[in-house]
Structure 1
Amino acid sequence: MPTITIEPATSDRFDDAEHVFDAGGDGRSCQCQWWTLTNADFTRTDQSERRDLFEQEIAAGPPPGLVAYVDGEAAGWVRIGPRTLQRRIGRTRAIVTATEEPLDDASVWSVSCFVVRKEHRGQGLNAELLAAAIDFARKGGARVIEAYPIDGSVGTHPVNDLYHGLLSTFESAGFREVARQKPDRPVVSLALT
């Protein structure tokens, strides 16, 4: 049985996060900046600039996510933090019209992105990352966690779209569906207090 540890993404773990991003999905090109930038800013930046932004975000703190290690190798990533710091969320109509929470409430956190290296997929690492994210948010003072997963039981989805996480993973962790703007795109929520 592999040993899994999950740690906050701090400056000394930046290279580990990059190792995760380098092995599958859009992590490498996105650098987990999709949710932090407006569409115009994201389009204007290239991979190198997004990498620099991600490094600066980690250095400035607080940690914008968690890095999972499998037997000491960086294997997974989850973005977890105040929703107010993920600017694109407040500009995404399907979320804005569906959320039950005020958009300017910093006690509402969001889980918005997962990346797992290809060789570590199918082993339940997203569930481990989500459990650690819930604990991290609780310790960070979050009142509610929101997420915007894919309902895998509806239609087909390219692997790269699964960075949102699967609805079933969130349901297993106790999240409840609060709205559904598209057949395969629910908004889910977990109250922590």
Structure 2
Amino acid sequence: MTTRVEALTEAHLPALRALFDASSSTCFCRYWHFVGTKNDWLDRCANRPEENAAELEGAVRAGDPGARGLVALDDQGAVVGWMKLTPRDAVPKLKALPVYRSLDLGDGATTYSIGCLLVRPEARSTGVARALIEAAPRFAREWGARAVEAYPRRSAEPLHAEEAWQGPERLYLETGFEAVVDVAPYPVYRKNL
């Protein structure tokens, strides 16, 4: 399978919706923007996922930098992967997390964050995540970034696909990202542009 990576546009929204549905992912990449408790978030994902879908679609249509991302398309043009790729300042919840709160990660306006990676279940382990990670620096540079950061989860045990929603750590290492904060279970990787 050949994978083509493009910047998310409004035209991709129906296919992106299909990707989230096929992956049983009810978050629609709104975790970083949700205000409320963890239980409120879990309730919303379980009982009101349409709110998440509508928020994502609205943010994309409005040109919100917090909704920026990349889509991976297969040979037939179907969306088989998604990466949230936004200025770190557009996802203040990230910096507010206890694990990152005390870190001096530098300029959040020109550092783009890989907020999540989602690959269609039947396309996993076919190079889709790698294609998205490899494309991220090029698109981020075009959007004015000076660096791209990733926040994969590190575990001594193999992670289930749903637990590696910020991407597999090994792919960042294999694609030239360097650890700038090497703390388990949440290291920070960066690629300067």
Q: Give the TM-score taking structure 1 as reference length.
A: 0.87
CA contact (8 A) 2:33 2:93 kept: yes
Q: In the alignment, which residue of structure 1 is the partner of 2:80?
A: 75
Q: Distance in 2 between matches of 1:82 and 1:147?
A: 12
SS at match of 1:30: coil
| Greater strand content | 1
Post-superposition Cα deviations, 1:51-93, rounded to whole Å, max 9, x if no partner, equal: 1110011101156111111112110000001011112112112
Change in 2 beyond 3 A, CA 1:11/1:147: same
CA contact (8 A) 2:83 2:116 kept: yes
CA contact (8 A) 2:136 2:148 kept: no
Q: In the alignment, which residue of structure 2 is the partner of 1:147?
A: 150
Correspondence 1:24-173 to 2 at 5 A: 24=23, 27=25, 29-40=26-37, 42=41, 45=44, 46-61=48-63, 62=65, 64-71=68-75, 72-102=77-107, 105-151=108-154, 154-173=156-175
- Give percent identity, aligned residues only: 29
Gaps of 5+ in 1: none
Query: Which letter maps to 1:9?
Result: L
The structural deviation recorded for 1:166 is 1.1
Post-superposition Cα deviations, 1:99-147, rounded to whole Å, max 9, x if no partner, equal: 4324xx3111100100000110111111101111111101111011111
The structural deviation recorded for 1:38 is 3.0
Q: In the alignment, which residue of structure 2 is the partner of 1:185?
A: 186
Gaps of 5+ in 2: none
SS at match of 1:22: helix
Q: Distance in 2 between matches of 1:172 and 1:99?
A: 25
Q: Distance in 2 between matches of 1:38 and 1:88?
A: 9
The structural deviation recorded for 1:185 is 2.2
Change in 2 beyond 3 A, CA 1:155/1:98: farther
Q: In the alignment, which residue of structure 2 is the partner of 1:19?
A: 18
Q: Distance in 1 between matches of 2:42 and 2:164?
A: 21
Q: Distance in 1 between matches of 2:20 and 2:104?
A: 29
Query: Which letter maps to 1:55?
Result: E
Query: Which letter maps to 2:162?
Result: N
Q: Distance in 2 between matches of 1:20 and 1:90?
A: 28
Change in 2 beyond 3 A, CA 1:87/1:100: closer
